[in-house]
């Protein structure tokens, strides 16, 4: 027989086994997620329209954003805020953020593990070689035959192949691919979280700056009031009580600044960390609320499309796929394992020609390993895999429902933001007019200092309320883009 005979026989046996192979366990089918026509109940917007009609001056429609249900959200959603500074922050973060880089490396690892697992579909070939010297004793050949010590040489190859006739290897590769897809979704989720964190921290810093400006204006007015009262006290127009009251109010208002400044510092430090810099080595740009443009048109994908966009939903689907494949792996382990092994090579004594045809040697071995008694371990593992599959299916449905609820909350929040902005704008206009009248009345001697201070308190509350309402609308808009899933990492 020629030297290639065992390998031809081996290949023929492997091919026949491949043709007869089947795949046990359930095949994965994408789940049918709930897909309502919208996110909120039709009656939820009735209260908003009634509130809008009740506003006398500024109307909520002046601040309203239009929801385009069924539209495709923007790919680079943060650009809709029209801030080059914000765009540059995100560019730096995507390039230098360490958490995102770690997620990418983990994805690379998962993809390499898919290739490693897929190698089990092919025969495993290894080269062998040996050089030795040996001597047999009398108990091996008997006392009649004495073999002197001898040396030998051997060189050849070994091919091993496990027949995947039940599809266990195929299911294990499928499971690895699903886990790699899960990691792909995790990278997209990290990318979405990173871009969202940059935008939200930048907006929080801008809101803090606006609040600091409003408080500084109030403190400046407090100082003017104190100078006015001191002058009138020297003229004998007011008592020392008014001076102490003005001093107390100035000191009280100055206490409002440190907490807001601390919030600004926290946001600045968070931005530095997000872009991969130490807070001491990097200073963020001075982004103001006025530098941001509020998107008026908000495309919102349908629920049936959302399940194909959000990374957390896609990650849950990938976990469900992996759990489905795991059932097949556990089922295949219940069946016998068939292994084919072929070896071929040359063997000779050192003083002979190694590459002589007469020195050829080969073996062709098939082996079967069948589970007989393992204490119920394999069946328990199969049942556990099925339990894991049911858990993954329920978790997927829960993730979908929570995502629908998150989008619904934000859509309602944006409607209420426009109402709040209109109310705060009216409140600020009224409070500003009242403060001006109170100061004029005080100068004319028709009212006391407490009336002025109370009017200033109301104006400050209204001004801070308007700033916070504006920041809240920007933040809710950004969170809506995040809830819609953003876009995958390019």
The set of residues, in sequence order, having a beta carbon less than 8 Å from that of 348 and lying 6+ positions away, is 152, 153, 154, 354, 356, 359
pLDDT at residue number 175: 95
Q: pLDDT at residue 243 above 90?
A: no
The architecture that CATH gives domain 27-122+166-334+379-483 is Up-down Bundle (1.20)
pLDDT at residue number 19: 45
Q: pLDDT at residue 135 above 70?
A: yes
pLDDT at residue number 116: 94
Q: What is the mean pLDDT of the chain?
A: 86
> Which comes out higher in pLDDT, residue 245 or 475?
475
Tokens coding 115: 């290739």
Q: Specify the pTM.
A: 0.85
Confidence of residue 374 (pLDDT cuts 50, 70, 90): confident
Q: pLDDT at residue 408 above 70?
A: yes
The set of residues, in sequence order, having a beta carbon less than 8 Å from that of 443 and lying 6+ positions away, is 228
Confidence of residue 54 (pLDDT cuts 50, 70, 90): very low
Note the pLDDT tens digit of each residue in 348-366.
776 556 666 667 788 888 8
> Which comes out higher in pLDDT, residue 7 or 144?
144
Note the pLDDT tens digit of each residue in 442-481.
778 787 777 888 888 888 889 999 999 999 999 999 999 9
Note the pLDDT tens digit of each residue in 310-321.
999 999 999 999
> Which comes out higher in pLDDT, residue 138 or 375?
375
């Amino acid at each position: 027989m020629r030297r290639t005979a065992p390998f031809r026989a081996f290949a023929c046996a492997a091919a026949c086994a491949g043709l007869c192979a089947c795949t046990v366990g359930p095949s994965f089918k994408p789940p049918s997620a709930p897909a309502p026509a919208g996110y909120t109940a039709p009656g939820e917007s009735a209260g908003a329209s009634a509130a809008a009609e009740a506003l006398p001056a500024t109307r909520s429609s002046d601040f309203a954003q239009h929801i385009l249900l069924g539209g495709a959200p923007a790919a680079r959603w943060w650009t809709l805020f029209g801030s080059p500074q914000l765009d540059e922050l995100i560019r730096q973060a995507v390039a230098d953020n360490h958490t995102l880089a770690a997620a990418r490396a983990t994805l690379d690892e998962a993809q390499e593990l898919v290739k490693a697992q897929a190698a089990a579909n092919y025969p495993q070939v290894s080269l062998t070689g040996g050089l030795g010297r040996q001597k047999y004793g009398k108990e091996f050949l008997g006392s009649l035959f004495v073999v002197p010590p001898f040396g030998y040489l051997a060189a050849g190859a070994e091919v091993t192949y496990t027949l995947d006739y039940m599809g266990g290897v195929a299911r294990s590769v499928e499971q690895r691919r699903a886990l790699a897809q899960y990691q792909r979704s995790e990278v997209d989720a990290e990318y979405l979280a990173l871009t969202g964190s940059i935008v939200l921290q930048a907006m929080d810093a801008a809101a803090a700056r606006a609040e600091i400006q409003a408080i500084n204006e109030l403190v400046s007015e407090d100082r003017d009031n104190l100078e006015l009262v001191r002058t009138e006290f020297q003229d004998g127009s007011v008592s020392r009580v008014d001076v102490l009251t003005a001093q107390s109010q100035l000191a009280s208002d100055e206490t409002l600044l440190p907490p807001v400044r601390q919030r600004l510092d926290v946001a600045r430090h968070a931005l530095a960390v997000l872009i991969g810099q130490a807070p001491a080595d990097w200073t963020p740009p001075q982004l103001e609320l006025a530098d941001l443009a509020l998107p008026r048109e908000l495309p919102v994908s349908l629920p049936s499309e959302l399940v194909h966009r959000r990374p957390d939903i896609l990650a849950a689907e990938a976990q469900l796929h992996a759990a489905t494949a795991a059932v097949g792996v556990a089922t295949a382990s219940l069946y016998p394992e068939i292994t084919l092994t072929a070896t071929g090579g040359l063997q000779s004594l050192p003083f002979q020609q190694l590459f002589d045809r007469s020195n050829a040697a080969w073996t062709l071995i098939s082996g079967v390993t069948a589970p007989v008694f393992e204490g119920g371990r394999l069946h328990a593992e199969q049942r556990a895999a099925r339990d894991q599959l049911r858990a993954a299916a329920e978790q997927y449905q829960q993730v979908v429902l929570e995502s629908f609820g998150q989008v619904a909350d934000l859509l309602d929040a944006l409607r209420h933001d426009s109402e709040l902005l209109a109310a705060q704008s009216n409140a600020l206009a009224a409070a500003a007019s009242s403060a001006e009248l109170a100061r004029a009345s005080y100068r004319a001697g028709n009212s006391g200092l407490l009336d002025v201070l109370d009017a200033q308190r109301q104006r400050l509350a209204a001004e801070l309320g308007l700033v916070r309402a504006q920041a809240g609308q920007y933040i809710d808009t950004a969170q809506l883009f995040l809830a819609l899933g953003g876009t995958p990492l390019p």
